[in-house]
C-alpha cells in the first residue's frame, strides 16, 4: 500500500494512530524520550550499539530513513497487530526493508516477533518472492482425429479454452509413441 | 551465497522469536 499521495496532515494522523499507545508509553519509560526518533510515515526507532532498532514498519518506511539521512535499520520489532484496520494500512511492511538491506547492503534484516507472526510472514513471503509452492494443474483432454483423405490430423486440446491444432500425420504418430 | 543460488526468505530475513508477553526469547533463526 502506497502513501505517496498522502498529505502531511494525513501522514501525521497515520503516524499518531499507528502507535500502540501502551507499548509506546512502556518504551518511553524505559528509554530517555529524546533517544526515540519518530518517523514521518509512522513507527519510531532508537539508535543502539547494535545499530538502529525500529518499532513498527509502515509502508515506505525506508524512504523516511533515506530522507532523514539516517541508516536504514536491520532490526525491526513487529507490532502485535500487523494491520491497522481503521486506517487500512499494513504496519508490518517488511518486504522493502528486506529487499533494500539484502540487495543494496548485502545484509539480512532481523524481525523481532512472535511465533505466529513468523509463520504468517513466511507464508506471505513465499508467495511474493518465489510464488506458490504448488498450484493445481488442470487436466488436459486430448482428442486426436485423422483424416486419410486430407492426410492431416487434428489434435483438440480441451483445457479452459478449447483450442484446435492441426498437425501432420507423422507428427501425430510421434506424439502417440 | 553462490551467484546461482536461489534467494529464499532465509537469505533475507532472520527471525528473533519471543513469546506473547515479549519477555522470553524462544529462538533465533537463520544465522547465515
In chain A, which residues have their Cβ closer than 8 Å to the Cβ of B23? Answer: none
The alpha-carbon gap from A13 to the nearest alpha carbon of chain B, in Å, equals 27
Residue A9 has φ and ψ, to the nearest 5°, of -65, -40
A106: nearest CA partner in chain B:
B12
Cβ pair A119, B26 in contact under 8 A:
no
The alpha-carbon gap from B5 to the nearest alpha carbon of chain A, in Å, equals 13
Q: Could you tell me the pTM of the whole model?
A: 0.65
In chain B, which residues have their Cβ closer than 8 Å to the Cβ of A54? Answer: none
DSSP string, B1-32: --TTSPP-HHHHEEEEEE-TTS-SEEEE----
Mean pLDDT to the nearest integer, A82-104: 91
pLDDT at B8: 85
Q: Measuring CA to CA, which residue among A167, A117, A116 is closest to residue A143?
A: A167
In chain B, which residues have their Cβ closer than 8 Å to the Cβ of A112? Answer: 16, 18
Q: Does B24 touch chain A (CB under 8 A)?
A: no
pLDDT at B17: 92
Percent of residues, chain A, with pLDDT higher than 70: 58
Q: What b-and-e string marks burial along B7-28, b requiring 16 or more CB atoms within 10 Å of the CB?
A: eebebbbbbbbbeeeeeeeeee
- Are the Cβ atoms of B13 and A121 closer than 8 angstroms? yes
Give A140-145 contacts, CB < 8 A, sequence gap 24+. Answer: A144/A172, A144/A175, A144/A176
d(CA A113, CA A118): 7
Instruction: For residue range A101-160, list pLDDT tens digits in order.
Output: 999 999 999 999 999 999 999 998 888 887 877 776 665 555 556 555 655 556 555 554
Flag whether pLDDT at A100 surpasses 90: yes
pLDDT at A132: 78
Flag whether pLDDT at A17 surpasses 80: no
Instruction: For residue range B7-30, list pLDDT tens digits in order.
Output: 888 889 999 999 888 778 888 886
Q: Does A48 touch chain B (CB under 8 A)?
A: no
Amino acid at each position: 500500500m502506497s502513501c505517496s499521495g498522502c498529505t502531511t496532515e494525513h501522514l501525521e494522523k497515520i503516524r499518531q494512530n499507528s502507535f500502540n499507545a501502551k507499548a509506546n508509553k512502556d518504551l518511553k519509560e524505559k528509554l530517555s524520550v529524546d533517544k526515540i526518533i519518530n518517523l514521518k510515515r509512522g513507527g519510531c526507532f532508537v539508535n543502539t550499539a547494535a545499530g538502529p532498532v525500529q518499532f513498527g514498519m509502515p509502508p515506505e518506511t525506508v524512504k523516511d530513513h533515506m530522507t532523514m539521512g539516517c541508516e536504514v535499520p536491520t532490526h525491526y520489532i513487529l507490532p502485535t497487530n500487523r494491520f491497522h484496520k481503521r486506517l487500512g494500512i499494513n504496519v508490518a511492511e517488511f518486504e522493502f526493508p528486506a529487499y533494500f538491506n539484502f540487495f543494496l547492503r548485502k545484509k539480512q534484516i532481523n524481525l523481532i516477533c512472535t511465533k505466529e507472526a513468523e509463520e504468517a510472514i513466511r507464508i506471505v513471503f513465499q508467495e511474493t518472492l518465489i510464488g506458490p509452492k504448488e498450484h493445481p494443474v488442470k487436466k488436459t483432454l486430448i482428442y486426436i482425429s485423422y483424416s486419410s483423405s486430407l492426410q492431416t490430423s487434428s489434435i483438440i486440446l480441451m483445457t479452459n479454452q478449447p483450442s484446435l491444432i492441426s498437425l501432420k500425420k507423422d507428427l501425430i504418430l510421434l506424439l502417440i509413441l | 551465497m553462490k551467484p546461482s543460488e536461489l534467494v529464499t526468505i532465509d537469505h533475507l530475513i532472520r527471525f528473533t522469536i519471543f513469546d506473547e508477553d515479549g519477555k522470553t526469547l524462544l529462538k533465533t533463526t537463520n544465522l547465515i
